[in-house]
A and B are shown apart, each in its own frame.
Chain A
């Protein structure tokens, strides 16, 4: 898969969506479709099967997605089908989401915690992170029991690790460093 192609499609779709004020709607449609595509099933088989021609796929999509997806989403998917780029749908959705965050000056944060965080904890954490990075945070919360306790936040290439497992790993690195330094 070529990331440049996905970016090109996403940029065109995002620009068009901004003009018609349908960024959120298109992003939601693309996210849902990408999730459908990433899991084996009828939708994925339909998009990838060589038994149906491209025009036939576009016609079928128009009947099934009529009224359920934004017209811009349908137009984008139809274009990708005609160009044979339907396999890039998840990357296009991701790039579209990235472009939207960049335009809104929002950073994405993956928050993993050993237990489900309460609403207050989530809000406090998001506020704290926003003050820390100086940007608005768009969090994604997930539960990871392997953390044992605490929370770990990944923003772009930066990781804030407050988990028990992270502490143990840091302790392991310190001990290993001491041992190897003696050698």
Chain B
């Protein structure tokens, strides 16, 4: 909305003088015509109109216009100017309100855009993090499974070794037991069948061996 020019609104000094002169001429001429209407032939239609119920006095009308033109700056100063100022103020206020509303709308649009961008970025980050977590979980799962398999294999191997060791141990114990039993049996057999002659022979052999070994 445009703001009117104060000089144009108040009029130039020449226009004011012209308006005052015209007002005085109209006021004086109108008053003269009103006083001498009956004497002026071209104003006889006023009489006809008055008879018909339409009272019209061109002189009074012209004088009133003249007075109005004379009093126009006063009316303008006390009435029109404050009204224009109020209207201008109101327009300015409305313009500012519209401007602020526009700014707010722009700000809101910007904020909404940022919010949407942020939401989109947050969603993208969340998706990326979720994907990363999924990858890490899968890696961890693979690693744990590999470790578990390795551990199981190790335990299995150790169990096999333990079983084999225990088997060898039992086998050795069994063999030692067989040795014990065999030697005990041999001892009994030898004890039962070893006579004095064999003993003397053994002693003689020992005597020879002791000397020979020296």
Contact = CB atoms under 8 A, between A and B. Distances in A.
Contact of B179 (A129, A149, A175, A182): A175
A149 B176 contact: no
A183 B187 contact: no
Interface stretch (B60-68, B86-94, B190-198): B190-198
Interface residues of A, number: 30
Contact of A132 (B168, B171, B179, B213): B213
B179 A131 contact: no
A25 B194 CA distance: 43
B211 interface: yes
A148 interface: yes
Contact of B203 (A113, A131, A176, A180): A113
Contacts of B200: 121
Contacts of B186: 168
Nearest to B184: A168
B190 A149 contact: yes
The main secondary structure of chain B at its interface with chain A is: helix
B183 interface: yes
A121 to B, nearest CB: 6
A179 to B, nearest CB: 4
Contact of A162 (B172, B209, B214): B209
B168 A115 contact: no
B98 to A, nearest CB: 104
B207 A176 contact: no
Contact of A151 (B187, B190, B206): B206
Contacts of A129: 210
B197 to A, nearest CB: 11
Nearest to A145: B191
B211 A150 contact: no
Interface of A: 113-115, 117, 121, 124-125, 128-129, 131-133, 148-151, 153, 160, 162, 164-165, 168, 171-172, 175-176, 179-180, 182-183
